């Protein structure tokens, strides 16, 4: 069942009912000011850091769902109270529509001859969100209605705001000037930031104190002031500051009125902090309000935003007969990659914004999906990440975005982490040709005195694996590899009590076959990079290590029909046919094959067949099988999850992509694309009632075949699934692959495809690529013609003339 439809020409998903199976959200802003907005106008906003600079409040885990706060508008039409976004009043609407687009959301509600449309967006280079409200009288009579705006301020630190009530109920402060409500809590002692909410029209009144607005025992759904149709002009003094404007709107039949609300954040410059005591410097806010004081200015900003997104997404454009595929590749998958760039794993409807910082492995992998869109910011991100690396090549697992410092509480010792940095740098250089990044002096542990060229960081990443091998010569897993919950260096202090993980080596020897596969895959990339920069000695050194590792994998990491997953601290196999549960894991199958282990002797194909047989479901591939039905202290967190959820045999969409890559690499395009469609959102749309999360973005996990709610997704938006699926479809399946010397064309597609077109901007040139498949093969470029001339091989030579080039490729 569907709850809306894709409007590809506008790059929108159009939701046609407020009661979607779960709140379906969108993100506004992509620089410093961010906002989350659901299809019924729930959500919140923040400046840079969702924990430390939360602008409006949101209650997670709330009952009813998504009534934790929002960007609400209420209408009182002669005693009839309703909201254009349906919630929070939930009065039935004659018409409802929510259009989530690229960086904006437009919600329209109509009732009783009145239509109200609210467009929410964050203009480029602006620390504010605009709400353009259009009210139209569609009835035959004159109307006189009251329009109320509403946001609830968060007292900045979101964690403190929801815990430290004894203090915070005394600190709230506001100031009202004309149609602007200023939120200035903490201004006295910090004097460096404040927020405001304005409207470009005279107001009939306002409220800034929540209880006065709502009534002490009322909720968002029945605010007293709105129902009485009379603002109370309350001025908050402690408790819960809010901002609500009341506008009297008179409309002749057919008449439309437009208003611009600006919800903004102001950060004062260092010297301004000392200018005044408790008197806020309103100049910056006034300038922002002035800038967006007309709907013409707002429409212009919205058009600029659309152009910005067209440019970002336009770097790759697919024309295929499958619309679902087009919309994934051209719009939604790329959009989600940018959201993961902006938000990492911090703020979604499943991530509270107060938890994790930037993950080392997560951010390096995210980069694979956005590097072609924003190469400069990717470069910056790489240096930030590498600056948190430690001298021995290990890495802090996470860092805080505001300070960019490694997070000591979590520490390092996730032994896959360092390798992802190498992969990110390789992807960056292949996309841009910018080898100079390797020379950037980059600190260890953010200590400038310990700086070495980035290339040395990569070397240390490789060495970190080589220097940490276990009894079989496989890489030590450390606290965990990519699978956070496979904690094999565990020990229980008291039987039956929960496990603890060691944070240092401490003689613990669990080994990861997955890291071994990664080492081979990323090692090959590193070797080529070293050859490119003329460091033959280093290339030869690592090539030998990779060859050795492949031998170890096939000797001690192969279980007969598939790759083992690991050895635990007691030297016992994990992911083996010998195990009772957890006989086969997905990660090592994907990465060992991507690392060219067993690809020549038939083992890889055997492993992939076992994947389909044992892990395959119609909703995607489960992470392992059979699911753990009891708690194994020696395996750690993985076995604490109920069977079929998360790492315990859930469908982890991230690693499904590695199997797509492996299948494509082995030339099995049919299988690769089949797996792609099992989890790609546009294809899940038709069973949204089962899948439940947004049909326009990936979720981290879908409940596996052992789960009671098989097919139900959780944790949408902020997941490495976005970037890896983009790599799988654009590079491995469609076969448009950035290489050092040009674009490589190497599709691996379903045999029945006749062909497709891809326009790809690459290093300033544009390549118009037509791929034809007259003989209905999966893989193999028989002929390539560039600008009318046949080219040997399958790499389009770099033109470097900033022009458009025609490329014809015939498979066969």
Catalytic residue list: 484
- Specify the residue, 183 or 646, whose C-beta has the smaller distance to ligand BGC: 646
Q: With contact defined as beta carbons under 8 Å apart, do 102 and 109 qualify?
A: no
**Closest CB to ligand BGC belongs to which residue?**
484
CB of 359 to ligand IFM, least distance (A): 5
**Only segment of 173-181, 253-261, 478-486, 782-790 that touches ligand IFM (CB under 6 A):** 478-486
Report 625-664 residues binding ligand IFM (CB under 6 A). Answer: 647
- Specify the residue, 117 or 362, whose C-beta has the smaller distance to ligand IFM: 362
How far apart are the C-alpha atoms of 251 and 113, rounded to whole Å? 11
- Specify the residue, 480 or 784, whose C-beta has the smaller distance to ligand BGC: 480
How far apart are the C-alpha atoms of 45 and 34, rounded to whole Å? 6
**Only segment of 315-323, 476-484, 545-553, 740-748 that touches ligand IFM (CB under 6 A):** 476-484
11 binds, among ligand IFM, ligand BGC, none (CB under 5 to 8 A by kind): none
**Only segment of 151-159, 201-209, 326-334, 357-365 that touches ligand IFM (CB under 6 A):** 357-365
Those residues whose C-beta lies under 8 Å from the C-beta of residue 557, and which sit 6 or more positions away, are 472, 474, 513, 516, 563, 564, 588, 592, 597
- Specify the residue, 91 or 485, whose C-beta has the smaller distance to ligand BGC: 485
Given its phi and psi angles, is residue 747 left (phi above 0), alpha (psi -120 to 50 degrees) or beta? beta
Q: Whose structure tokens read 């800038």?
A: 291
CB of 303 to ligand IFM, least distance (A): 37
Q: Whose structure tokens read 């005394």?
A: 170
CB of 647 to ligand IFM, least distance (A): 5
How far apart are the C-alpha atoms of 31 and 377, rounded to whole Å? 11
Stated as kind and residue range, the H or E segment containing 213 is helix 210-214
Among the listed residues 333, 323, 320, 321, the one whose alpha carbon sits nearest the alpha carbon of residue 680: 333
How far apart are the C-alpha atoms of 256 and 245, rounded to whole Å? 19
Three-state secondary structure readout of 166-210:
HHHCCCCEEEEECCEEEECCCHHHHCCEEEEEEECCCCCEEEEEH
Size of the residue set binding ligand IFM (CB under 6 A): 8
Q: With contact defined as beta carbons under 8 Å apart, do 87 and 73 qualify?
A: no
- Specify the residue, 363 or 373, whose C-beta has the smaller distance to ligand IFM: 363
List the one residue from 468, 483, 487, 648 that touches ligand IFM (CB under 6 A): 483
Interaction mask 226-265, ligand IFM, x per CB under 6 A = ----------------------------------------
Residue 362 binds ligand IFM (CB under 6 A): yes
Residue 420 binds ligand IFM (CB under 6 A): no
SS3 call for 427:
helix
**Closest CB to ligand IFM belongs to which residue?**
484
CB of 362 to ligand IFM, least distance (A): 5
- Specify the residue, 484 or 612, whose C-beta has the smaller distance to ligand BGC: 484
Residue 501 binds ligand IFM (CB under 6 A): no
SS3 call for 648:
strand
Q: With contact defined as beta carbons under 8 Å apart, do 724 and 288 qualify?
A: no
CB of 414 to ligand IFM, least distance (A): 8
Question: In this structure, what DSSP letter does residue 439 have?
Answer: G
How far apart are the C-alpha atoms of 182 and 279, rounded to whole Å? 11
For the chain, give the number of residues.
812
The contact set with ligand BGC (CB under 6 A) reads 484-485, 646
- Specify the residue, 186 or 484, whose C-beta has the smaller distance to ligand BGC: 484
Those residues whose C-beta lies under 8 Å from the C-beta of residue 166, and which sit 6 or more positions away, are none
Given its phi and psi angles, is residue 766 left (phi above 0), alpha (psi -120 to 50 degrees) or beta? beta
Stated as kind and residue range, the H or E segment containing 309 is helix 295-313
Given its phi and psi angles, is residue 496 left (phi above 0), alpha (psi -120 to 50 degrees) or beta? left
Query: For 542, phi and psi rounded to 5 degrees?
Result: -75, -35
CB of 18 to ligand BGC, least distance (A): 30
List the one residue from 204, 383, 485, 605 that touches ligand IFM (CB under 6 A): 485
List the one residue from 482, 526, 585, 724 that touches ligand IFM (CB under 6 A): 482
How far apart are the C-alpha atoms of 335 and 329, rounded to whole Å? 9
* CA gyration radius, the chain: 28
CB of 539 to ligand BGC, least distance (A): 34
**Only segment of 8-16, 325-333, 355-363, 386-394 that touches ligand IFM (CB under 6 A):** 355-363
Angstrom distances, CA of residue 577 to CA of 523, 558, 580, 592: 29, 11, 8, 18
- Specify the residue, 200 or 364, whose C-beta has the smaller distance to ligand IFM: 364
- Specify the residue, 306 or 485, whose C-beta has the smaller distance to ligand BGC: 485
CB of 638 to ligand IFM, least distance (A): 9
362 binds, among ligand IFM, ligand BGC, none (CB under 5 to 8 A by kind): ligand IFM
359 binds, among ligand BGC, ligand IFM, none (CB under 5 to 8 A by kind): ligand IFM
CB of 575 to ligand BGC, least distance (A): 18
Residue 416 token pair: 């896959």
Q: How far apart are the first and last CA of the chain?
A: 40
CB of 587 to ligand IFM, least distance (A): 9
Q: Whose structure tokens read 């240092």?
A: 504
Residue 484 binds ligand IFM (CB under 6 A): yes
Q: With contact defined as beta carbons under 8 Å apart, do 211 and 239 qualify?
A: yes
- Specify the residue, 13 or 482, whose C-beta has the smaller distance to ligand IFM: 482
**Only segment of 103-111, 285-293, 354-362, 757-765 that touches ligand IFM (CB under 6 A):** 354-362
Query: For 280, phi and psi rounded to 5 degrees?
Result: -80, 145
**Only segment of 28-36, 221-229, 482-490, 562-570 that touches ligand IFM (CB under 6 A):** 482-490
Residue 714 binds ligand IFM (CB under 6 A): no
Those residues whose C-beta lies under 8 Å from the C-beta of residue 567, and which sit 6 or more positions away, are 470, 471, 472, 474, 488, 509, 510, 511, 573, 574
- Specify the residue, 285 or 339, whose C-beta has the smaller distance to ligand BGC: 339
CB of 398 to ligand BGC, least distance (A): 8
How far apart are the C-alpha atoms of 812 and 801, rounded to whole Å? 31
Three-state secondary structure readout of 736-771:
EEEECCEEEECCECCCCCCEEEEEEEECCEEEEEEE
- Specify the residue, 193 or 479, whose C-beta has the smaller distance to ligand BGC: 479
How far apart are the C-alpha atoms of 673 and 655, rounded to whole Å? 15
- Specify the residue, 397 or 583, whose C-beta has the smaller distance to ligand IFM: 397
Residue 222 CA, chain-centre distance (Å), reads 35
Q: What is the DSSP string of 525-563?
A: HHHHHHHHTT-HHHHHHHHHHHHHHHHHHHHHSB-SSSB
**Only segment of 57-65, 232-240, 276-284, 356-364 that touches ligand IFM (CB under 6 A):** 356-364
CB of 43 to ligand IFM, least distance (A): 23
CB of 362 to ligand BGC, least distance (A): 9
- Positions in the binding site for ligand IFM (CB under 6 A): 359, 361-362, 482-485, 647
């Amino acid at each position: 069942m569907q709850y809306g439809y894709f409007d590809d020409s506008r790059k929108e998903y159009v939701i046609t009912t407020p009661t979607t199976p779960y709140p379906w959200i969108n993100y506004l802003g992509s620089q410093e000011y961010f906002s989350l907005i659901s299809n019924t106008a729930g959500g919140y906003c923040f400046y840079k850091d969702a924990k430390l600079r939360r602008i409006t409040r949101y209650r997670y885990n709330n009952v009813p769902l998504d009534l934790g706060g929002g960007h609400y508008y209420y209408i009182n039409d002669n005693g009839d109270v309703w909201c254009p976004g349906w919630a929070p009043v939930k009065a039935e609407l004659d018409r409802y529509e929510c259009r989530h687009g690229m960086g904006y959301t437009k919600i329209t509600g109509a009732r009783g001859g009145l239509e109200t449309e609210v467009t929410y967006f964050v203009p480029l280079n602006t620390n504010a969100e605009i709400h353009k409200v259009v009210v139209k009288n569609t009835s035959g009579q004159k109307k006189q209605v009251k329009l109320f705006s509403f946001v609830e301020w968060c007292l900045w630190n979101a964690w403190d705001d929801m815990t430290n009530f004894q203090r915070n109920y005394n600190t709230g402060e506001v100031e009202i000037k004309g149609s602007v409500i200023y939120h200035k809590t903490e201004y006295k002692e910090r004097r460096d930031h404040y927020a405001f909410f304005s409207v470009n029209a005279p107001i009939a009144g306002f409220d800034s104190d929540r209880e006065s607005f709502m009534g002490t025992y009322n909720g968002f759904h029945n605010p007293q002031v709105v129902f009485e149709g009379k603002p109370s002009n309350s001025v908050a003094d402690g408790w819960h500051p809010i901002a609500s404007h009341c506008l009297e709107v008179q409309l002749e039949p057919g008449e439309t009125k437009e208003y611009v609300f600006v919800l903004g954040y102001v950060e004062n410059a260092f010297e301004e902090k000392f200018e005044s005591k408790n008197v806020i410097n309103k100049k910056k806010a006034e300038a922002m309000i002035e800038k967006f004081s007309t709907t013409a200015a707002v429409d212009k900003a919205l058009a600029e935003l659309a152009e910005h997104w067209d440019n970002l997404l336009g770097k790759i454009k697919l024309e295929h007969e499958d619309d679902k595929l087009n919309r994934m590749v051209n719009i939604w998958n790329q959009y989600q990659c940018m959201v993961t760039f902006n938000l990492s794993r911090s703020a979604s409807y499943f991530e509270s914004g107060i938890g994790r910082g930037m993950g080392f492995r997560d951010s390096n992998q995210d980069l694979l999906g956005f590097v072609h869109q924003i190469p400069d910011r990717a470069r910056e991100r790489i240096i930030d990440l590498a600056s948190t690396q430690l001298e021995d090549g290990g890495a802090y697992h996470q860092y805080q975005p505001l300070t960019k410092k490694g997070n000591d509480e979590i520490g390092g010792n996730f032994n896959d982490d360092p390798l992802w940095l190498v992969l990110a740098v390789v992807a960056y250089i292949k996309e841009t040709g910018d080898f100079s990044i390797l020379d950037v002096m980059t600190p260890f542990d953010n200590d400038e005195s310990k700086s070495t060229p980035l290339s040395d960081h990569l070397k240390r990443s490789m060495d970190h694996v080589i220097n940490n091998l276990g009894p079989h010569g496989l890489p030590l897993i450390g606290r965990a590899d990519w699978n956070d919950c496979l904690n094999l260096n565990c020990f229980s202090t008291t039987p039956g009590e929960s496990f603890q993980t060691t944070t240092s080596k401490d003689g613990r020897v669990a080994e990861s076959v997955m890291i071994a596969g990664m080492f081979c895959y990323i090692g090959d990339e590193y070797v080529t990079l070293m050859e490119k920069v003329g460091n033959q000695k280093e290339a030869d050194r690592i090539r030998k290590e990779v060859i050795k590792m492949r031998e170890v994998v096939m000797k001690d990491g192969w279980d007969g029909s598939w790759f083992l997953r690991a050895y635990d601290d007691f030297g016992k196999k994990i992911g083996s046919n010998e195990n009772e549960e957890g006989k086969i894991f997905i990660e090592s199958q994907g990465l060992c094959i991507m690392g060219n282990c067993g690809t020549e002797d038939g083992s890889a194909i055997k492993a992939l067949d076992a994947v389909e047989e044992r892990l395959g479901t119609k909703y995607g591939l489960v992470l392992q099988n059979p699911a753990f039905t009891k708690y194994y202290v020696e395996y750690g967190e993985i076995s604490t999850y109920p069977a079929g959820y998360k790492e315990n045999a859930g469908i982890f969409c991230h690693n499904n992509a590695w199997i797509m890559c492996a299948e494509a690499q082995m030339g099995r395009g049919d299988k690769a694309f089949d797996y792609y469609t099992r989890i790609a959102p546009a294809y899940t749309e038709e069973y949204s009632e089962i899948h439940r999360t947004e049909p326009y973005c990936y979720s981290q996990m879908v409940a596996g075949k052992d789960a009671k709610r098989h097919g139900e997704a959780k944790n949408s938006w902020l997941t490495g699934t976005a970037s890896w699926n983009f790599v799988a479809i654009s590079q491995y399946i469609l076969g448009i692959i950035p290489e050092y010397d040009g674009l490589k064309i190497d599709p691996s597609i379903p045999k029945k495809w006749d062909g497709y077109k891809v326009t790809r901007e690459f290093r300033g040139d544009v390549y118009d690529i037509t791929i034809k498949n007259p003989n209905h093969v999966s893989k193999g470029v028989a002929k390539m013609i560039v600008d009318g001339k046949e080219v040997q091989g399958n790499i389009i030579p770099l033109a470097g003339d900033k022009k458009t080039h025609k490329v014809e490729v015939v498979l066969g």
